Structure 1
Amino acid sequence: MDKPKGEFFPDALQREIKDRFHYVDHDPNGRARLFFENAGGSLRLKAAVEAVARIDAIPDCPERIHEIAVYLQDIQVAGAADVRTMLNAKGGTVYASLTASGAMFDLVRAVAENVPGDNMVTTVLEHPSSFDAMTLYAQRTGKALRVARSNPTTGGIDVEEVVGLIDQGTCLLSVMYASNISGAKIDIEAIVRRAREINPDLYVIVDAVQHAPHGLIDLQRTPVDAINIAPYKFFGCRGSGLSWLSDRAAVLPHHKLAGKKPDFWDLGSAAPWQFAVITEITNYVCWLGSQFSDSQDRRTLYACGIDRIALHERALLARLLDGTDGRAGLRAIPGVKVFLDYEDLSKRDLIVAIALDGLEHTQAVREYERRGVIVYERVASSIYSRRMLESFGLEGAVRVSPIHCHVPTDIDRFLEITREISEAFTVAEAG
């Protein structure tokens, strides 16, 4: 993947990819639209949506012995296997929850309440579900909470900043894979390796919700104790979170029915559709991989598919920032400021934070919507943004987050609309 500016999918494949998703070019009312808010919840795979309706329509309880119940059990087994395929995880426990945020609180609690230590480490860029869980359980257990600072140049967190906070008394490190404001990827592999050199018994929890749809995760290279994903940001559906726990993390005391095995985490009857959706997502990524690989191994195909998604999205990012011959990119459009604009695109997922002169961020979002573009404001008044923005010295930004099923002409249209908005309000401000 040594392609600094990425590489687009072939044209025919781009068309086929778009056809597998709902509402890529139009909203549910049939109006032309660019949905560039995928960091808030991605465009949906048709096969994933169909799987929910097909499987959830079945009334049978999967904890029975008859034929349809066994069929539902098989769906759960296949889906759990595909969570491991996504993560390249061996053994451990797959935990299905209502949300990835809820699972994060459960995971943090299990470690904080049961593992000796006098401190826990996290970063300023974490999602509130992680940061607030760490804060809550640090307070409840009397442990110090140490917070790694962000790097305003890269938009991420430096490895040294994290490992410098870890010592023999650290029981838990919680760190995200990529920022949902800057798109900066965190070097999880280096952090985990360095952290375990300092404290081999350290537990590590990773929030992969933002990064999982955009880049490869390999737990054989990054041996963590727990990691979560959210299908609604990964071409799937809301109302579902999936986590994986290592063998040692899975048996920490946690809420469960007394008669269940020590490593069992689900509470109540399972929802088989959650697992069916994971399988459809995995099927899709493997199908993409099969366009570039002759392998018959599912993990190999999945890895190839995700790598190709990353290359296509890097090419979209390069076009978004630099434009093309005759069309300026965001870096060159007068009146547009690109925040946290780190040059090495290989270290970024497809998220861009911008501001437009003469426009408050929420107003800018409204102007984009008037022109058929959905983006989102990240402002200091939001509990989901304030801590991260302040760490960067920003009051707010417009977050632009396309996804791999977008094509170069979608980027060109967005750039043209951005230029129109900027020109209109630059003139209005001057007048």
Structure 2
Amino acid sequence: MTAVHGELFPTPLMAQIKSRFHYVDHDMNGRERLFFDNAGGSFRLKAAVEQAGRIDALPDCPERIHELARYLQDVQAKGSQDFRTMLNAQGGSVYASLTASGAMFDMVRAIAENVPGTNMVTTVLEHPSSFDAMSLYAERLGRELRVAPSNPVTGGVDVEAIVGLVDQDTALLSVIYASNISGAKLDIASIVKRAREVKPDLYIVVDAVQHAPHGLIDLEKTPIDGINVAPYKFFGCRGSGMSWLSERASVLPHHKLAGKSRDFWDLGSAAPWQFAVISEITDYVSWLGSQFSGASARRTLFARGIERIELHERALLTRLLHGSDEAPGLRAIEGVQVFLDHDDLSRRDLILAIGIDGLEHAQAVREYEKRGVIVYERVATSLYSKRMLQSFGLEGAIRVSPLHCHSAADIDRFLRITGEMAAQVAAGLIRAD
């Protein structure tokens, strides 16, 4: 039953979790609010923000020989190892960039320009950074871009739809780990295994930006060639993208200083705070894992922490959909639609797409804000939403994305507010703009 419906954190632990993050229950002005837009940028760990400022305040360059320079070298080395711990990655290269989107363009370019083939494969649900990178280099190199369609029932992309597009002439496969509209998780393990059965040396890159804070990534089980993570969506800070490349991908020709090693990807002076933030994220998730495990290995603790986050978030998702004695769930609220509502919650991250009858999505977002709730409208006029929404046959949706920092009481409050809004629209008390 736990695996199906999840399991909430114990109440004392929930209080500790909230205390480790900024602005979970109030905004910067002290106003009470529910921030349910974590898919656009998650709550920040206090330790990550503090450490970023502390490290970035140092004027020292890590490419020196004095004491603080060597300290910064250690910060970078630890952060690189902690990033590998997050991914369970061995070898390869860690690439710190300004954004995860920029890194995706860099990885796609290096593979597309240097690996032979007549086609490149991706999915309709990709973030623009990966889809547009694939489109750009397919066009520039005269290759066919093959796009796997979405499944409007599950909200994801079927394994068969992707693998069926791969052949011996495929230069690159790029797939997203989870949809940032529906929350549906793609079966990366099966995709990698079956695609490599078609072409054993196929290059594969994965966009894990949306999924990384919600579920375990294990590159030993899903060997790929490139993956990106955005720390600001994973309890960290903006202005940083972290990626990992396999040994063979890391040595493909790419932009770099000529004097650096073949597998080096950073350009310009390193920003050690980026690595320090990764270590703080790893510390936090490992601490969370230690509440449920007596293990000492860092990867084991990290894995346990992410697994418990996933279970808690699944319990929150269950409560959102089914409700409780405190409030009816979204499925039961008259006037509320839950889009892409697949029953297998183990295949979904904590993201919901909903609509309120008679209320345009952007107006609904404004009405929620009046009531102290922050959500986000995904509409077909947005470059970040159009392609995905159209694939689902939707014109728009209200995206609801809590985080594991939220409690059952937070979910109940959101459900009561949603129910009141739907009733007010039906009674004509809220009129369409």
**Same-fold status (TM-score > 0.5):** yes
C-alpha deviation, 1:211, in angstroms: 0.2
Secondary structure of the structure 1 residue equivalent to 2:105: helix
Q: Which string of whole-angstrom CA distances, capped at 9 and with x for unpartnered residues, describes residues 114-141 of structure 1?
A: 0000000000000000000000000011
C-alpha distance in 1, partners of 2:208/2:150? 18
Alignment match, 1:143: 143
Q: How do residues 308-319 of structure 1 correspond to structure 2 at under 5 angstroms?
A: 308-319=308-319
C-alpha deviation, 1:144, in angstroms: 0.5
C-alpha distance in 2, partners of 1:3/1:430? 40
Say if 1:107 and 1:418 are closer, same or farther in 2 by CA, change over 3 A.
Answer: same
C-alpha deviation, 1:346, in angstroms: 0.4
C-alpha deviation, 1:267, in angstroms: 0.3
C-alpha distance in 2, partners of 1:299/1:150? 33
Q: Which string of whole-angstrom CA distances, capped at 9 and with x for unpartnered residues, describes residues 40-84 of structure 1?
A: 000000000001110000000000000000000000000000110
Q: Are residue 219 (structure 1) and residue 222 (structure 2) matched?
A: no
Q: How do residues 120-199 of structure 1 correspond to structure 2 at under 5 angstroms?
A: 120-199=120-199
Alignment match, 2:76: 76
Kept after mapping to 2: 8 A contact 1:224/1:246: yes
Kept after mapping to 1: 8 A contact 2:8/2:311: yes
Q: How do residues 227-238 of structure 1 correspond to structure 2 at under 5 angstroms?
A: 227-238=227-238
Alignment match, 2:296: 296
C-alpha deviation, 1:89, in angstroms: 0.1
Kept after mapping to 2: 8 A contact 1:22/1:46: yes
C-alpha distance in 1, partners of 2:429/2:408? 32
Q: Which string of whole-angstrom CA distances, capped at 9 and with x for unpartnered residues, describes residues 219-274 of structure 1?
A: 00000000000000000000000000000000000000000000000000000000
C-alpha distance in 2, partners of 1:92/1:112? 19
C-alpha deviation, 1:189, in angstroms: 0.3
Counterpart code for 2:270: A
Alignment match, 1:202: 202
Counterpart code for 1:217: I
Alignment match, 2:254: 254
Counterpart code for 1:253: P
Alignment match, 1:273: 273
C-alpha distance in 1, partners of 2:176/2:285? 22
Q: Are residue 306 (structure 1) and residue 306 (structure 2) matched?
A: yes
Kept after mapping to 1: 8 A contact 2:424/2:430: no
Alignment match, 1:381: 381
Secondary structure of the structure 2 residue equivalent to 1:277: helix
Say if 1:326 and 1:78 are closer, same or farther in 2 by CA, change over 3 A.
Answer: closer
Say if 1:114 and 1:317 are closer, same or farther in 2 by CA, change over 3 A.
Answer: same
C-alpha distance in 2, partners of 1:287/1:360? 42
Secondary structure of the structure 2 residue equivalent to 1:328: coil
Secondary structure of the structure 2 residue equivalent to 1:327: coil
Counterpart code for 1:320: L
Counterpart code for 1:293: S
Kept after mapping to 2: 8 A contact 1:111/1:203: yes
C-alpha deviation, 1:429, in angstroms: 7.6
C-alpha distance in 2, partners of 1:238/1:165? 36
> Which deviates more, 340-349 or 325-334?
325-334
CA RMSD of aligned residues (A): 1.0
For normalisation by structure 2, the TM-score amounts to 0.99
Counterpart code for 2:367: E
C-alpha distance in 1, partners of 2:318/2:364? 22
C-alpha distance in 1, partners of 2:369/2:236? 24
Q: Which string of whole-angstrom CA distances, capped at 9 and with x for unpartnered residues, describes residues 381-419 of structure 1?
A: 000000000000000000000000000000000000001
> Which deviates more, 148-157 or 1-10?
1-10
Counterpart code for 1:180: N
Alignment match, 1:36: 36
C-alpha distance in 2, partners of 1:429/1:323? 25
Counterpart code for 1:73: Q
Q: How do residues 313-352 of structure 1 correspond to structure 2 at under 5 angstroms?
A: 313-352=313-352
Structure 1, unmatched stretches of 5+, are none
Counterpart code for 1:29: N
C-alpha distance in 1, partners of 2:182/2:196? 27
C-alpha deviation, 1:88, in angstroms: 0.1
Q: How do residues 389-404 of structure 1 correspond to structure 2 at under 5 angstroms?
A: 389-404=389-404
Say if 1:7 and 1:430 are closer, same or farther in 2 by CA, change over 3 A.
Answer: closer
C-alpha deviation, 1:365, in angstroms: 0.1
C-alpha distance in 2, partners of 1:268/1:362? 41
C-alpha distance in 2, partners of 1:268/1:411? 45
Counterpart code for 2:309: I
Counterpart code for 2:396: G
Secondary structure of the structure 2 residue equivalent to 1:331: helix
Deviation >2 Å, runs of 4+: none
Q: How do residues 40-59 of structure 1 correspond to structure 2 at under 5 angstroms?
A: 40-59=40-59
Alignment match, 1:62: 62
C-alpha deviation, 1:325, in angstroms: 2.0
Kept after mapping to 2: 8 A contact 1:358/1:429: no
C-alpha deviation, 1:326, in angstroms: 5.0
C-alpha deviation, 1:327, in angstroms: 1.8
C-alpha distance in 1, partners of 2:262/2:56? 28
C-alpha distance in 2, partners of 1:300/1:175? 27
Kept after mapping to 2: 8 A contact 1:215/1:307: yes
C-alpha distance in 1, partners of 2:149/2:32? 41
Q: How do residues 84-95 of structure 1 correspond to structure 2 at under 5 angstroms?
A: 84-95=84-95
Counterpart code for 1:403: L
Percentage of pairs with the same residue: 74
Kept after mapping to 2: 8 A contact 1:125/1:387: yes
C-alpha deviation, 1:201, in angstroms: 1.3
Kept after mapping to 1: 8 A contact 2:326/2:412: no
For normalisation by structure 1, the TM-score amounts to 0.99
Counterpart code for 2:97: S
Q: Which string of whole-angstrom CA distances, capped at 9 and with x for unpartnered residues, describes residues 338-378 of structure 1?
A: 00000010000000000001100000000000000000000
Alignment match, 1:15: 15
C-alpha distance in 2, partners of 1:257/1:326? 60
Counterpart code for 1:190: S
